[in-house]
Structure 1
Amino acid sequence: MADLAVVGHIAIDRVIDSGGCRRQLGGSPAYVSLVARRLGLDAGAVTKVGGDMPAPLLDQLRGLGIDLRGQVVEDAETTRFTLDYRWAERRLSVESVCEAIGPEDVRGLPSAVLISPILGEVPPETAHAISADLVALDPQGLVREVRRGGSIGPKPWFDVGLLRRVDIYKSSERELRLVAGEDDPWRGLGRVLGLGPEAAVATRGAEGALLMTGGDRYFVPAYAPAEVVDPTGAGDAFMGGFLSEYLRGGEGPWCAAVGSAAASCVVETAGVSMEASAGELRRRAEEIYDGAVRL
């Protein structure tokens, strides 16, 4: 059994940037598995894909250790996103959404679970049915809604019952505002942490991350990558690094440093891939950790 299960859709991403257009693997399970395997852990997926998933992407998933047996809905379409980076702010739209993940799909999971939907595919009844020793949440797909023409926009979300069952919370600073309803990120993290999580993180891209655990606050810097080739999946890579160390008993600031290092490694290549070795990832994490500040 995997060390960690990631609950959320695997996707096919159409990425548009200054270099043109390409289709590639997407979704939190793929990026988390990539980082976890690089750090010596196995992450499986609780997901749904359609019968249209291309064979090369299925092969790539197998290479990541993701077993899709029983999770392919032959008469459905795989979730497909378009991510357009030609603008100052990324534009996100959806082409298709696969079948939702049901409560019956989340039975018999490993002791650690990450709930990380990309567009509402983990309904409340499914999220509340998850039972594990460690439950982590990335609410990225809970604060999105589909608008005219398939464009994706933000929406508020706050589920007290689920947040009370979560041990680790991570979102971007913008997503945190939609969850906690607070403009100040520390107030937002405090509101989330007050419901029960052991640690709450707000990522800020190149400006690092904010971590609150217990009564302590930390600023964890980002690592400047050699080149940003593809920013897709950086947040998922962060969570993969964070949880890989947390499951080994790492303290919060170190886990966040590993997460930040993992994100810097992933954005240096296109898609779900990483050229950096585990040793290079940890070297970056040590540099980041040395720069972390308790506030």
Structure 2
Amino acid sequence: MSITVVGSLAYDAVKTPFGQRERMLGGAATHFALAASFFDTVRPVGPVGGDFADADLEVLRTRGTVTDDVEVIADGKTFFWAGEYGWDLNSRETLDTQLNVFETFVPKLSPAAQACDVLFLANIQPELQAQILDAVDGPAFTALDSMNLWIDIARDALVGVIERVDCLILNDAELRQLTGKPNLVAAAREILGWGPTAVVAKQGEYGAALITAASFFALPAFPLETVVDPTGAGDTFAGGFVGSVAQHLAGGVTDEVLCRAMAYGTALASFNVEEFGTERVTRLTADEIHERVSALHGFGRFTLQTPVLTGDRS
């Protein structure tokens, strides 16, 4: 199996109450690939400038990620984002955005990237996402991320792309904005009617929820005493989720497969926030992930002794 991800490779400048980095590796495709590479071969597709360091390409290749589809524009500069987080890390202020080579990005997929078994469309213009869907050779599973900007200025195009994918991954506020439904489940049910078979609602420190036609499944975020930087956590979650699905494609994308994927996405996202940028996930091990997934599984265990309720009394 193989996974293609199309999205940004970037440099970030981040300040949180726990420190700061003036220039660190980032971007949706970067965070996704580092997480998904635990499960399968990943091919990130996206542009970088001549300022993109060889050492950062090596970080991408940490677990065998194939970087042949990373387009290096020698006379250009890499996409750059700067932001500052509030004391609780839930509020974020964007200080600077420089699209640079990403402004004129036209995806160019190699034959190997086109022949992927799984496709993840990271947060880019819906029109580009549609072009990529036209270019690939019928992957067995497709998932898509987006953001409030595209809901505001390109909703029709975004809905058209959502109708063509298997899974939509958005945060809960974006799901409500997209559908105009104030209730998360109602919003997800509407989107399922458009074509996807699964909707994942990212809920930050409260975890994530999975809604399919037959089921609802939710996991809390892994409880951490130390959270340093949430940048890229959503894309890391998506990498873990989609990567886990890819690993179990042979048996079909069942609700069981999706629920397991939720656990691995949650675990990987929890490691991402423990340090800045890609620092923690780069040196992460499979054993650490399995241990955290087992702990998540244990959180749901309890012994049920049926109480006598008021309505049961004669």
Q: Give, as a single letter, the amino acid of the residue that structure 2 aligns with 1:285.
A: V
* Other-structure match for 1:197: 196
SS of equivalent residue, structure 2 residue 200: strand
Once the two structures are TM-superposed, the CA of residue 282 in structure 1 deviates from its matched residue by: 1.8
After the TM superposition, which residues 131-146 of structure 1 pair with which residues of structure 2 at under 5 Å, given as runs?
Answer: 131=136, 132-140=139-147, 143-144=148-149
Q: Does 1:113 align with 2:122?
A: no
Aligned structure 1 segments of 4 or more residues deviating by more than 6 angstroms: none
CA distance in 2, matches of 1:69, 1:136: 19
2:27 partner amino acid: G
SS in 2 for 1:129: helix
Superposition map of 1:5-154 within 5 A? 5-18=4-17, 19-37=19-37, 39-63=38-62, 65-68=65-68, 71-86=71-86, 89-92=91-94, 93-99=96-102, 100-102=104-106, 104-105=108-109, 108-117=114-123, 120=125, 123=128, 125-131=130-136, 132-140=139-147, 143-144=148-149
Q: Deviations over 1:198-248 (max 9, x none)?
A: 211001111111110122112211111241121111111111111122123
Q: Is the 8 A contact 1:15 1:82 kept in 2?
A: yes
User: Which residue number in structure 1 is paired with residue 294 of structure 2?
Assistant: 286
After TM superposition, give the deviation of residue 164 of structure 1 in Å.
Answer: 1.7
Distance 1:167 1:144 in 2: 22
Structural mapping, 1:256-267, within 5 Å: 256-267=262-273
SS across alignment from 2:101: coil
> Distance in 2 between the 1:266 and 1:255 partners?
17
1:116 Cα deviation after fit: 0.1
Instruction: Note the aligned Cα RMSD (angstroms).
Output: 2.7
Q: Secondary structure at the match of 1:71?
A: strand
SS of 1:165 mapped into structure 2? coil
Supply the distance in 1 between the matched residues of 2:292 and 2:45 (Cα, whole angstroms): 30
Once the two structures are superposed, what CA deviation does each residue of 1:156-200 show, in whole Å capped at 9, x if it has no partner? 735332112111211111222232232211111112211121211
Corresponding residue SS for 1:210: strand
Counterpart for residue 155 of structure 2? 157
Q: Tell whether 2:217 aligns with 1:212.
A: no
What amino acid is the match of 1:83?
Answer: G
Equivalences, count: 281
Distance verdict in 2 for CA 1:289–1:123, change over 3 Å: same
- Name whichever of 260-269 and 282-291 sits farther off: 282-291
* Pair 96,254 (structure 1): closer, same or farther in 2 beyond 3 Å: same
Q: SS in structure 2 opposite 1:269?
A: coil
Question: Does the 8 Å contact 1:209/1:222 carry over to 2?
Answer: yes
Q: Say if 1:66 and 1:23 are closer, same or farther in 2 by CA, change over 3 A.
A: farther
Q: Could you say if the C-alpha distance between residues 157 and 209 of structure 1 is closer, same or farther in structure 2, counting changes exceeding 3 Å?
A: same
In structure 2, list runs of 5 or more residues that go unmatched. 249-255, 302-314
Q: Which has the higher helix share?
A: 2
Highest RCO, 1 vs 2 (Cα 8 Å, sep ≥ 6): 2
Does the CA contact (< 8 Å) of 1:258 and 1:281 recur in 2? Answer: yes
- 1:195–1:130 CA distance, 2 compared to 1 (3 A): farther
Q: Secondary structure at the match of 2:182?
A: coil
Identity level (%): 28
CA shift digits 1:128-155 (9 cap, x unpaired): 4243222110113xx337xxxxxxx976
> Which residue type is aligned with residue 134 of structure 1?
F
- Normalised to the residue count of structure 2, the TM-score between the two structures is 0.79
Distance 2:126 2:68 in 1: 17
